[in-house]
């Protein structure tokens, strides 16, 4: 396996979707390749940072409209 | 499999407090997903409202085979996609790039590898970057920008998986796409965001 191919397998690796033999080859490559090890770290960091994106809060008007919709739905029972 | 969901029961019995709690909790992820299809916040909020109304109307039909969250986001996806089709009057850059996810091209610039397929120069290490910078607001703004620049097919997947923290199964159900297809899109999306971060950290 070459770096060029290894980088394209990284999400499959992270997701646990590689076959056992591919995973073994992948990990063997990583154990001797700083570049791919870093690339994998980059992807893991990318995933972690995506999960930290700030949460917008619901606008009060929308919240009020949703509550009205709920009351409506309830009254129609 | 039928899931027992106390929140669902509470909503069915008309509990306003639980309903409000639910709309608040899911809002951030719903907004990001809606924004994957519609650029404008107002349109996205409209879609969210329509989603909840639809959700309530279809409560009787919900049999609990998927989680409430998966079901909710499935409704949102359908409404947002339909609206986007209606509103796609102009061929934008985004819709052109929308073709990309099906392409099989490499996600890393081929020029970074030598003839034998190994790195010409290793990607830079981020382990020395201080945490305050790596996780700082400016870096997160880069991530956000990179995600917003993705074509919708890539954006919807990364938003649900990595931003909102859905499982692969949940995303497959909500978007009605195969696991394999999901992974291809996820990989392309993550690679694009990673590249933006690498450029930024340089």
CA A22 to the chain's CA centroid: 21
Q: B49 contacts in A (CB within 8 Å)?
A: 62, 65-66, 69
pLDDT at B2: 55
Is the model more confident about A29 or about B40?
A29
Question: A73: nearest CA in chain B?
Answer: B56
Closest CA to B169 of A75, A17, A44: A17
Question: Encoding tokens for residue B191?
Answer: 């690679």
The secondary structure of B60-80 as a DSSP string is GG--SSS-HHHHHHHHHHHHH
Say what the pLDDT of residue A77 is.
63
Q: Is B141 on the interface with A (CB under 8 A)?
A: no
The residue among B143, B135, B107, B105 whose CA lies nearest residue A39 is: B107
Mean pLDDT value across residues B174-202: 95
Mean pLDDT of A63-67: 95
pTM confidence score: 0.84
Spatial CB neighbours of B64, under 8 Å, sequence gap ≥ 6: B2, B3, B4, B5, B8
| Chain B hits for A46, Cβ within 8 Å | 143, 162, 190, 193-194, 197
Q: Which residue has the tokens 């008309």?
A: B14
| Cβ-defined contact of B117 to A62 (cutoff 8 Å) | no
- The pLDDT value recorded for residue B121 is 96
Whether this model's ipTM surpasses 0.90 comes out as: no
Q: Percent of chain B scored above 70 by pLDDT?
A: 90
């Amino acid at each position: 396996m070459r770096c060029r191919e290894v980088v394209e397998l990284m999400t499959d690796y992270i997701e646990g979707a590689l076959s056992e033999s591919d995973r073994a080859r992948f990990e063997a490559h990583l154990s001797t390749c700083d570049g791919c090890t870093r690339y994998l770290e980059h992807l893991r960091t990318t995933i972690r940072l995506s999960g930290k994106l700030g949460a917008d809060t619901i606008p009060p008007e929308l919240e009020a409209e949703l509550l009205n919709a709920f009351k409506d739905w309830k009254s129609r029972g | 499999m039928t899931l027992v969901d106390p929140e669902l029961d509470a909503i069915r019995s008309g509990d306003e407090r639980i309903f409000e709690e639910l709309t608040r909790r899911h809002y951030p992820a719903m907004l990001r997903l809606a924004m994957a299809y519609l650029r404008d916040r107002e349109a996205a909020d409209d879609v969210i409202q329509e989603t909840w109304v639809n959700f309530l109307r279809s409560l009787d039909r919900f049999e609990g085979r998927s989680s409430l969250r998966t079901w909710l986001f499935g409704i949102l996806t359908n409404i947002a996609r339909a609206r986007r089709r209606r509103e796609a009057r102009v061929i934008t850059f985004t819709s052109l790039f929308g073709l990309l996810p099906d392409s099989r091209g490499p996600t890393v610039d081929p020029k970074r590898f030598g003839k034998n397929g190994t790195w010409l120069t290793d990607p830079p290490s981020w382990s020395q970057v201080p945490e305050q910078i790596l996780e700082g607001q400016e870096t997160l703004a880069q991530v956000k920008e990179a995600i917003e620049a993705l074509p919708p097919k890539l954006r919807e997947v990364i938003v649900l998986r990595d931003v909102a923290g859905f499982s692969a199964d949940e995303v497959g159900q909500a978007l009605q796409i195969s696991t394999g297809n999901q992974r291809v899109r996820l990989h392309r999306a993550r690679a694009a965001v990673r590249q933006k971060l690498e450029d930024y950290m340089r």
